[in-house]
């Protein structure tokens, strides 16, 4: 005989209340529906569970014997449900793609690991232009990436976290390495390292005098690759101010660029209400960015 937890819950409610109307109110269902469900349970079992009169509801001998068993079965089912949820959360894995702002991202992930100890974290370095593809192809669950223009696409939730000043990274021996700052015009003729990130981060509409975004002559996928190529003397690249802190090394110089718009770094994920730890990660990212961005020469977007 197949019994459902709901049927047992209906029986227990009536058995404890000994009143169909009060039991129905407790269960948030109609009294007539509850009466029908209990009658169906009795027919399925083959014997009555309640003695009913116009003024009284009481348990039969069978009903009294069933009550503790039904309560035990309901408790066991609740325990299984709680265990399942706990086990699911303990086994949750969040795949994080990183395409920018690694210094602050490291602090965000450290805080997330502290606040969400049951979550497993998988980290992946994404290319400058690989965020949307990685999310769309389910390679990552969430990403940290610069530039709103590079992240346009339906269904994506983009949460601005902090803003960085644009910096020119050059080899320490480069003629511009000793400058306090450079102008956009100083970028003309430079052998730049980068990718489509340059154009998406600096749309022509935001550049002075109708200039177009600098062209990248040496293609690289990630910030680490750009740093290595520039340190080898192949060219220069434009990045945000956080990289000047997180990727500082003696053979490189980071010089502020006047005339370029600031770079905003976003948390990006699918725009869904999916349960899990992603909303908590978003909250932690906002909080950490607010508290730590200025340490890296950036400013939080909520300041």
Q: Is residue 51 a contact partner of residue 58, using CB atoms and an 8 Å limit?
A: yes
Q: Give the residue from 18, 56, 101 showing the smallest Cα distance to 292.
A: 101
**What pLDDT, on the 0 to 100 scale, is given for residue 212?**
54
**What pLDDT, on the 0 to 100 scale, is given for residue 271?**
77
> Rounded to two decimals, what is the model's pTM?
0.64
**What pLDDT, on the 0 to 100 scale, is given for residue 88?**
66
Indicate whether 202 pLDDT > 60. Answer: no
State which fold the 166-258 domain adopts.
D-Maltodextrin-Binding Protein; domain 2 (3.40.190)
Domain 95-162+263-300: give its CATH superfamily.
Answer: Periplasmic binding protein-like II (3.40.190.10)
Which residue carries 């389910």 as its tokens? 138
Mean pLDDT score of the chain, rounded to an integer? Answer: 84
**Least confident window among 4-18, 204-218, 280-294:** 204-218
CATH match for 5-89 among 3.50.50.100, 3.40.50.2300, 1.10.10.10, 1.20.1250.20? 1.10.10.10
Where do the CATH 3.40.190.10 domains begin and end in the chain? 95-162+263-300, 166-258
Residue 226 and residue 235: Cα distance in Å, rounded?
A: 9
Where do the CATH 1.10.10.10 domains begin and end in the chain? 5-89
Percent above pLDDT 90 for the chain: 45
Tokens at 68, concatenated: 């503790």
**What pLDDT, on the 0 to 100 scale, is given for residue 211?**
56
Tokens at 268, concatenated: 């990006």
The upper half-sphere exposure of residue 26, i.e. CA atoms within 13 Å in the direction of its Cβ, equals 16
Binning pLDDT at 50, 70 and 90, where does residue 254 land? very high
Secondary structure percentages of the chain, helix, strand, coil, to 5: 45, 25, 30
pLDDT per residue as tens digits for the range 219-248: 777 788 888 889 988 888 888 888 888 888
96: part of which helix (H) or strand (E)? Answer: strand 93-98
Binning pLDDT at 50, 70 and 90, where does residue 76 land? very high
**What pLDDT, on the 0 to 100 scale, is given for residue 204?**
47
**What pLDDT, on the 0 to 100 scale, is given for residue 141?**
92
**Least confident window among 80-84, 263-267, 270-274:** 270-274
Tokens at 161, concatenated: 């976290």
Q: What one-character DSSP code corresponds to residue 236?
A: B
Indicate whether 214 pLDDT > 60. Answer: no
């Amino acid at each position: 005989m197949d019994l459902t937890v709901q049927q047992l819950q209906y029986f227990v409610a009536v058995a404890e209340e000994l009143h169909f109307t009060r039991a129905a109110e407790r269960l948030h269902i109609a009294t007539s529906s509850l009466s029908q469900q209990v009658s169906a349970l009795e027919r399925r079992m083959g014997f009555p569970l309640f003695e009913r009169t116009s003024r009284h509801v009481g348990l039969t001998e069978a009903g009294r014997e069933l009550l503790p068993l039904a309560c035990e079965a309901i408790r066991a089912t609740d325990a299984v449900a709680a265990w399942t949820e706990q086990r699911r959360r303990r086994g949750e894995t969040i795949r994080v793609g990183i395409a920018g702002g690694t210094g602050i991202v490291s602090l965000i992930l450290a805080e997330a690991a502290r606040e969400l100890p049951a979550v497993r974290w998988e980290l992946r370095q994404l290319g400058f232009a690989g965020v949307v593809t990685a999310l769309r192809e389910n390679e990552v669950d969430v990403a940290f990436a610069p530039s709103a223009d590079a992240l346009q696409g339906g269904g994506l939730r983009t949460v601005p976290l902090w803003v960085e000043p644009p910096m020119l990274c050059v080899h320490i021996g480069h003629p511009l390495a000793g400058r306090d700052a450079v102008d956009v015009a100083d970028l003309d003729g430079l052998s730049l390292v980068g990718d489509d990130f340059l154009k998406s981060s600096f749309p022509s509409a935001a550049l002075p005098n109708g200039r177009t975004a600098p062209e990248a002559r040496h293609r690289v996928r990630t910030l680490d690759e750009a740093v290595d190529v520039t340190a080898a003397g192949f060219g220069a690249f434009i990045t945000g101010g956080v990289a000047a802190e997180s990727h500082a090394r003696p053979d490189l110089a980071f010089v502020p660029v006047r005339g370029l718009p600031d770079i905003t770094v976003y948390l990006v994920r699918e725009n869904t209400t999916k349960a899990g730890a992603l909303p908590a990660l978003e909250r932690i990212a906002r909080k950490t960015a607010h508290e730590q961005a200025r340490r890296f020469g950036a400013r939080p977007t909520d300041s």
